[in-house]
Amino acid sequence: MKNVSPLKKTLLYFFLFVGVIVSVFPFYWMFVGATNPSGEIFKVPPNFFPGTHGWENFKNLNENVGIIRVLGNSLLITLTFTALAAIICTAAGYAFAKFQFKGRNQIFFMLLVAIMIPYHVTLIPLFEIFSNVGWLNTFQAVILPQAAYPFAIFLMRQNMQAIPDSLLEAARVDGAGEFHIFFRIVLPVMRPALAAVGIFLFMFQWNNFIWPLVVLQSQDMYTLPVALSSLVGMSRIDYGQVMMGTTLSTLPIMIFFLLLQKQFISGILGGSVKE
């Protein structure tokens, strides 16, 4: 930046400022809508300031969809899925990166193909499977289908290729077993990648809509996206409640990302570097 002229620097900061406004304004407008009555959202000229109707919108939302119960369902499903999928995908990525076995490249190619297959193609076969085992309208039916998330396995494999084989061989020579190597050497090194994978998994399950809509038949079991969709199907749409629901659905993802943003960036960059 030392050789950049003041005019270019000013223009750069101006465009960055505009970009920030464009990115942040939808979230701010969502918050404004959540704290105002439904009619205020479409008022001309618009009201750009938060109101005092937020608690009323929250109470009405809780009466209509049981937002507290729904948030609990979503948190339980998402956190369980994230922990389970992170363990499975990390172990699978380690196997693909550091073990030689027959058919490894062919299986990994099938994994890449699975990434390219639209998720919706698998809905009917998965529904038949969980219907036959009697798991419809259960949390495990939402958690298990994507527990071996193909993209997460791919990302972990790419990051683990950067671990020197000499480091693992030295640990084996010293008498360390494979579980000891995995939990004491590999996982600590992979913390940035685990954070990145954790964010991807958390966002995927938190925003998952189609599959929970298919398998969850009781309103007491609904996740947040499914419950919020019922507001749009009402005869009269209360946009204040909709905005309150979307605000509540956005907060956990923002908090999760802010807590892990440094590790997330390191993990993404690490996946593009090979030894």
CA–CA–CA angle 77, 78, 84 (5° rounding): 90
Count structural domains, the chain.
Answer: 1
Q: Is residue 5 part of a domain?
A: no
pLDDT at 236 over 80: no
- Distance, CA of 259 to CA of 89 (rounded, Å): 22
CATH code of the domain in which 67 resides: 1.10.3720.10
**pLDDT bucket at 83, cuts 50 / 70 / 90:** very high
Q: What pLDDT does 272 receive?
A: 47
Top mean-pLDDT range of 10-14, 78-82, 176-180, 235-239:
78-82
User: Is 48 domain-assigned?
Assistant: no
Domain that holds residue 253: 54-271
In terms of Cβ atoms closer than 10 Å to its own Cβ (0-12, 13-18, 19+), residue 213 is middle
- 61 within some domain: yes
Contacts of 112 (CB under 8 A, 6+ apart): 150, 154
pLDDT at 267 over 80: no
* 35 inside domain: no
> How confident is the model over 47-68, as a mean pLDDT?
89
Q: Is residue 47 part of a domain?
A: no
Q: Is residue 30 situated within a structural domain? A: no
Say whether pLDDT at 118 is over 90: no
- The answer to whether residue 49 is domain-embedded is no
Query: Euclidean distance between the first and final Cα of the chain, in Å?
Result: 32
Q: Is residue 8 part of a domain?
A: no
